[in-house]
Every structure is written in structure tokens, then in C-alpha cells.
Structure 1
Amino acid sequence: MRPDSLPDVAGDQAQSARLLDWVGMARIALPLRIETGDGDAMTVAASADVGVNLVDPDARGIHMSRLYLHLQDALSSEILGRDSLRRVLQDCIDSQRGLADRVQLTLRYDQLLRRPALASAHSGWKAYPVEIDAVLGPAGLSLTLALSVEYSSTCPASAALSRQLNAARFVAEFPGDPADTSAVHDWLAAPRGLAATPHAQRSRADVRLSLHEGVEAFPVLAIVDALEHALGTPVQTAVKREDEQAFAALNAENLMFCEDAARRVASVLAADPRVTRFDATVSHFESLHAHDAVARVRG
């Protein structure tokens, strides 16, 4: 049969007239062309949620297949950015032929970034979860970028308590006359020289950023670099012994509660001219407690 001879019940009148805020599809698989941050580009596997508002209260349904077909190839041929998203979203609205005046598209993918080791000549790939939320409607286009950064957090209170035990053991091992340098060195290098270690845990900063209307490209690499630099202890990729030692030193230099980490993240985002608004959550997945330590900040 010819397509135009097939029944289309979506065009029937709705039984209960009502406007709908969002109608569409979730978890659509598609390829996405993205910037790597170093002047190059790559294609990644992504998932998409796309939906429109239904502004005709009497219409039974939207043209859902048209949204799907518009998305399948639109984002794989050119690099993802403000202009390309605006065109795709406008095409989605136009495809509904008056049924909608607002469209929302959410894209999720992992951005692979190659990260150097701390001390050795090695490097490795790390995946950063990214989510982009784009809305086009009568008020214009709005873009939101969300991403996550993992880091290590060593508890300042635990470090202070450990230092106290280490100092007490030192006094017990070297009572009376001051010890000579070589004896103290040998003691510190031996297992006996470590009475306690502070607890540390893998942690994560989740940020959600509203981007200034003048921002064309999504600054994933720049934001990740800034956050990892501020936190000081990003989770590593390739690790040899010298890298592990350097990482231990960074943890000692960057003792932090979740409150400290949240303030570090906020200071970076508040100073970024590309960001008009941010919401950040830092989560320390405790090794001491069975619960997590969490702090949230916005600005």
C-alpha cells in the first residue's frame, strides 16, 4: 500500500482536550560529533531525549516519527554547538506543522580525554559523563551543560588524628635525649614509623551550568581542567610507583571536607565568564562511614 493510503489515527480529535507540556521519546541511540578540546573532533555514541509541547488541545498526538528521523543524522555530520543545535531544534518544531512551539533536547555521552600521569611519561584515557540540555521556544534558545569530575578527598580531621598518634609513637620510641637524624630517618622509613593513616575516598563533583548566549562551543575540556586544578587530586589513569607517590603528596597538600571541595568548585564556576548560573554537588563516598558526605552550592 502507498503511505498516503494508510490510516493515521494520531490526527483524530483527542477525547479529553488538554495542552501537554512535553511529548516525545527518551533514550534514542545516535552518533554525535563533538570537539575534543584540542582543535580536533570525534564521533561518540550518545543517547537523546527529545520532546515538544502540544499546543493544540484537540490534537490527539504529535508527529513523533518526524522528530526521530530529524535527529538520526543531523548531529553526526557537523560538530555540536549552539548554531547546529538551534537548526536541529527549529527543524523539530517545524516538523510538527503548528502542533508545537517549544522543543527540548537532552544529549548524554561520555567524553574521552587523554590525561598525563603525574610524574612518569605515561598517559591514559579517562571518560567524563556529559549531559547537554537544549531548549528552543518563544523565549529563545537556552543551553545547559552538565558534567562530572572524580577526585580523591583525604579527611582533614582524620589527618590531624593520625598526626597525633604518629607524634605519640615518636615520643615513645625516642624518649629522653634528642635522636640523631639518621636514626629518625630509619624509624620514619620503617613500618614502625607510621602509627596511623588518614582515611581518604574517591569523590565526585557534579556540576550543571547555564551557558552565556555568546558561547558557541561547549567548553568541556576547559571546565574539566579548571575543576581538576582547583580540587588538586583528580583520579588518575596510568600510574607507576612515582605517580602513586606524587598522588599521595597531592592528597597531603589538599586535605578537604566536602564543604572545602564545594567552595573550590564554586570559586572556579563563579569566575568563568561563560557561565551565567551554576549548580554544583560534591559527594565524598566515605571509607569511614556507611553514608556519604555531600555539599551543594549554587550561584
Structure 2
Amino acid sequence: MTADSLPDVQGAPDTRGIDIDEVGIGGLRYPVFFDDGVIEQSGVAEIEVVVGLPADRRGTHMSRMVQAVESYLGRVNPYELHTVFKAVAVLLDTSDLRISLALPVPTRVESPATQNSGYQVHDLALYGRLIDDEFQLTSTVTTDVTTLCPCSKAISDYGAHNQRSRVSLSTHGENDSPYPVQMVDAVQLIRDASSCPVYPVVKRPDERAITMAAYDNPKFVEDLIRDLTSSCRELAVPHDITARNIESIHSHDAVARVSWAARGAEHVSRPTSLDVERS
């Protein structure tokens, strides 16, 4: 039997009168080549493709979604995703398309004293949505840094507790400006906002330099996100930030979040930092 002679059950009408917000495929792991003009890397991404389904349609054609990934997402350039989404929307016969893609991306980092080089891996997630002809893209970079507690430093005769902090910076673009901050720049913004970056290769001179750099630049989790959002606001880039200190002396983590909409005089900052007892 040919495909044309088989019943198209998904394409049948539905009479229940209920729109579906999102339906599609998730957890698809697929090889991609990421290229934003600075980073060029092959890897395996985890991908989700969903559409809004009108009330009169029984189902969506999920096999076409895998074909769309094969045909249009083998090479991912954030600057070209608006065009890619339009082509996928035509293939899937939808006016409401959402695709998310996540993969680890390494950059080379030199240790501060000995200049030994190694790869540090960051997590990159892209979430795009096309509604009719309007395209929005959120790019999220997550990486680790070091923070040293200002209170611990101030109240101790010597030393201060410090910890690794995991920071996610999401920047938002749209239409012809979908990717306002490149991945390597987002990583650098996060590292610059910390007490000290982390490094893949640390020799004794590096460890000394790192320890003293963090001690000279203590930051609460609130300080970290305030400094990071200040840098992003100077760039006039809408963004969301989440920072999590994986505490070294507490039995809990310290978490802070802030968002900034970059809407001219209507800038809105929505901090939801959790109050953490310092003593």
C-alpha cells in the first residue's frame, strides 16, 4: 500500500472544540553543527518541537517534526533562525511554532598565573517561537563561577567561606535582532560579575591567584546578580538571570533571580531573591 492509500487519522477533524496550546515531540537527541560566527562546534542537541493545534484538528504530524529537524536544524545559526522557523512552519502547516534546543558548548580558558589552557563547558539553550510572522528567541547560557561570602570575610579572624555558583543568563531578541549577546560574551559577562571565575587547569600559582582574587572581591548572591544585570542593562538587552550558590557551610543553597524588560522608561526589575540567614 502507498502512503496516499492509507487513512490519515491525525488529519481528521475533531468536534470537541478544544484548542491545544502545545503538542509535538520532546527529548529528541540529534546531531547539530552550531555556528554563531564565533563558536563553531558539532554536538548532539536535545530538541523539542511543538505547535499550537487548532480545535478542529485531531492531531499533528509528528514524523514531519523529525523531518524538519533533519532538513533545517542540522546547522544552527541563531542569526538565521527566523528564516528557518518560517520554513518549518510551512512544512508543519502551522502559524504557531516553538522549538527549543539545548547542547553543551566548550570554550578554551587560560589559568590566571601559568596560562595553562583547557576547555570549560557551558550549557547553551535556545528557545524560539514564531507566531504568524513574529519571531522571538531566548538564548540561555549557564556556567559556573566562584563567590566568596562578604559576611564570612568581615566576621572572621582569617579566611572566608566560598563556593561554586551556577549562573544562568537568558537574553531575549526578536525578528531581525534575535541574538543580541553572543554566547562567548554572555559567558564573559557572568565571569566578570563573580568573585572569581573557575578554571579547568589550576596549578599551585593559579590556586594562589584565584584564592586571593576571590578574597579581594567578596560577593553575596545578590551582589552577583545586581552586577550582572547592571552590565546587561548598559547593553539595553532584555534579560533574566538566575544565580544559585551551592553553599559550602550551609545545608541549603542561596538563590536569586532578576528580570529586566528593557522597555524605555518602563523598565521593570523583578528581583525574587530568597532571604538567606548569614549567621
TM-score of the aligned structures, taking structure 1 as reference length? 0.81
Cα separation, partners in 2 of 1:290 and 1:255, compared to 1, 3 Å: same
Q: Secondary structure at the match of 2:219?
A: coil
Q: Which has the higher contact order (CA 8 A, sep 6+)?
A: 1
Show CA shifts across 1:15-35 (max 9, x none): 522221111111111122223
**Is the contact made by 2:36 and 2:182 (CA closer than 8 Å) also made in structure 1?**
no
Cα separation, partners in 2 of 1:90 and 1:139, compared to 1, 3 Å: closer
> Which protein is richer in helix relative to its size?
1
Unaligned runs of 5+ residues in structure 2 are 261-279
TM-score of the aligned structures, taking structure 2 as reference length? 0.86
Aligned AA (1:116): E
| Between 15-24 and 149-158, the greater mean CA deviation after superposition | 15-24
**Is the contact made by 1:258 and 1:284 (CA closer than 8 Å) also made in structure 2?**
yes
Give the root-mean-square deviation of aligned CA atoms: 1.9
How far apart, CA to CA, are the structure 1 residues paired with 2:96 and 2:174?
20
Q: Secondary structure at the match of 2:113?
A: coil
Q: Secondary structure at the match of 1:26?
A: strand
Aligned with residue 205 of structure 2, among 242, 245, 251: 242
2:156 corresponds to which residue?
A: 162
2:161 corresponds to which residue?
A: 199
Question: Does 2:8 correspond to 1:8?
Answer: yes
Question: Does 2:103 correspond to 1:119?
Answer: no
Cα separation, partners in 2 of 1:25 and 1:229, compared to 1, 3 Å: same
Q: Tell me the number of residue pairs that the alignment of Structure 1 and Structure 2 aligns.
A: 259
Identity score, percent: 29
Aligned with residue 63 of structure 2, among 51, 65, 70: 65
**Is the contact made by 1:66 and 1:95 (CA closer than 8 Å) also made in structure 2?**
yes
**Is the contact made by 2:194 and 2:219 (CA closer than 8 Å) also made in structure 1?**
no
**Is the contact made by 1:71 and 1:88 (CA closer than 8 Å) also made in structure 2?**
no
Aligned with residue 83 of structure 2, among 83, 87, 91: 87
Give runs of aligned pairs for residues 213-224 of structure 1, distance below 5 A: 213-215=175-177, 219-224=182-187
Distance apart, 1:147 and its partner CA: 1.2
Question: Does 2:249 correspond to 1:291?
Answer: no
2:131 corresponds to which residue?
A: 137
Larger radius of gyration: 1
2:27 corresponds to which residue?
A: 27
